Every structure is written in structure tokens, then in C-alpha cells.
Amino acid sequence: MKRLASLVFLLATLVLPMLPLTVTAQGFGLEEGDGVPLTKTVEAQAAQTEAASAPGSALVLAAPGQAGVGQPFLVRLTSDQPLDTVSVHWLGKEVVPTISVWNDRHVALVMLGTDVLNAKPGKEELVVMASIDGKENTLRRTVQLVPVEYQRQELTLPEKMVTPPAEVLERIRAEREVTRAALETVSSARMWRLPLERPVGGEVSSPYGAQRILNGKPKNPHRGLDFRSPMNNPIKSVADGVVILVGDFYYAGNSVYVDHGNGVISLYFHLEKPMVKEGDTVQRGQVVGLTGMTGRSTGPHLHLSISVLGRLVDPEPLLKMTVDDMLN
């Protein structure tokens, strides 16, 4: 009997993640790009972290040996000597991180990651350049991007929600340029700390990476978290930051973008009302808006995305894990 029970449990573990999840239309929202077909889903594998030191120097680099497609990860450079400058290069982007001092050690911490929309499994090079007393040091690591198996979501919606009319296509193109420019922001001061503040108390109704099947057609993966949240519920900033964009967009409705420094930006969509304006400095936990259902949304909810160097990563581990958790 025990052997039969074990067999049933094993089969359930293997089969259940592959079954489609049918979600109700209430609280469902579309974001820009949901009309683009999806690439196939991928398998879940755990990332490994390794630390290595540069020969003949006081530098120690902690970086993952592997990371899941769509998942964020951290890189930390530690030195016994003062760091003049540090730059981190990943997938064609550069970030110059904040350097802090802790226990007489000089530390640079960076958040990186990939986007489920376009990242592929395979090897990618991470390069960290650091200057100590005028001497340049270059440390290179290979990060293996591994597949992650995300959920499937099937939903039937009015066709006008899924396919925008021709007269709004120019608006969508213009908004895409505005939001893309905001996501390219890489400010010099790191203001985020982990875990990030949970923006609302409701449960997650739609996870990151979910393959969306709308009216029977594959669309883009979901590149954020949808939280159940009643109308006009206060939405909190996940970290200290500066508001860099507030607007009303075709897909996302009323939206707020907050820059948390070093390439990390939080996005809050479908708001009933933004409570901040561009240029405002906000504190972790400060209300930035009220839950709504503006844009392409079927009901009140909050869509939260986290952008890292312009790539939308899975916010969920960032809401749960400390820096040490993510580096170990």
C-alpha cells in the first residue's frame, strides 16, 4: 500500500504542473504585448551559487553558477580594500553599483536577471570590473540559464479586449516608447533592500511566467504578479525610490513606475488613482496608488512588475527572500 501511495504521489508531482490552469475573468488584466505569441514553456531547475576570489587580490565575487529563465539573482563583490569603482556587465547592459562598507569590508551588491519573454536556456557571461588603488581587476563568470516550468492559464475574453482596434495602434506604439525609456533608467544610488515590501495583502491570482491562452490562442507570458485587491485599496511602494513615470496607458491603465536605483524599477498597473506624481521621492511602504481596473482589465486587482536593467523578472522571490537567502 505504501508503494502504491508513493507511486500516486510521484505521478501527481510530475503531471499536475503540466495541466492548464483555467482562471476566471474577474480581476484579469492585459499588459502591452499580450497579443504576441508565446514560445514554449520550460522546465524548472534550481540555481546554484558559487563564490570565487581574484588571484592575488582582496576581491571576492559571489555569483550564481546557474539561474532560472525569468528569475532574478544577486551578485556581490567584497573587498578588504577600498573600491574606487565597480561596474557589472550582463547581457549587453552595464550597472555601476553603490559601494557600501560593512564590518570593514567594501561591498557592491547588484540585482540581475532575465525576462521570460525572450531569454533562452544556455550559457551567458557575467563580467565584473573593479578598480582598487588605481589598478583594474576583471572577474568573469559563466552563468548557466536553465529552464523553468511556468503555469498555463486559459481564459475566454471579449475579442475587443484581446485584439486592439486599428485606431489605437499608434497610441500603443507611442506608449511603448515612453515606457521603454523609463525602464532603461539606471540611477547611481541603490535604494532597495530585500525582501521587498508586499504592495497589497491579497493573494496572487496570476503568477509570473504564466503561459496565457486567450480565446484559444497562445499569447505572451505574464511578466508580473497579479494580486487580488478590492477597489480603492491602498498600494504600497516595495522600496524607497523616486517616481519616474505616471500615466494612463492603453493596456496597463493608470500606472506608476518607481526607480529604486541601480537598474531596479517597480511597476504598478490598473490603478484607480495614482497617489504620487513624477519626481516624488517615496519611502518603502508609502502609498503610491489605489487599486482599480483601468486599462484592459476585467476587474479590480494590482499588477506588479519588477524591471531589472530593462528586463521584467519574477517579483515573487524578491518579496520573500533576504540577500543572504538569494546568495546561498
**b/e map of 306-328 (b: 16 or more CB within 10 Å)?**
bbbbbbbbbbbbbbebeeeebbe
Residue with C-alpha cell 550559457?
123
What is the chain's pLDDT, residue by residue, as a tens digit (328 residues)? 444 444 443 444 334 344 444 444 445 555 554 443 333 322 223 333 334 455 555 899 999 999 999 999 999 999 999 999 999 999 999 999 999 998 889 999 999 999 999 999 999 999 999 999 999 999 999 999 999 999 888 877 777 777 889 999 999 999 999 999 999 999 999 999 999 999 999 999 999 999 878 777 778 899 999 999 999 999 999 999 999 999 999 999 999 999 999 999 999 999 999 999 999 999 999 999 999 999 988 899 999 999 999 999 999 999 999 999 999 8
The closest of 80, 64, 83, 62 to 72, measured between CA atoms, is: 64
Question: Whole-model pTM?
Answer: 0.84
Show the domains of the chain with their CATH numbers. Answer: 26-41+150-327 (2.70.70.10), 49-146 (2.60.40.10)
Provide the CB-side half-sphere exposure for 119 (13 A, CA): 32
Nearest CA to 17 among 51, 52, 44, 46? 44
Yes or no: say if 221 and 209 are a contact pair by the CB < 8 Å rule: yes
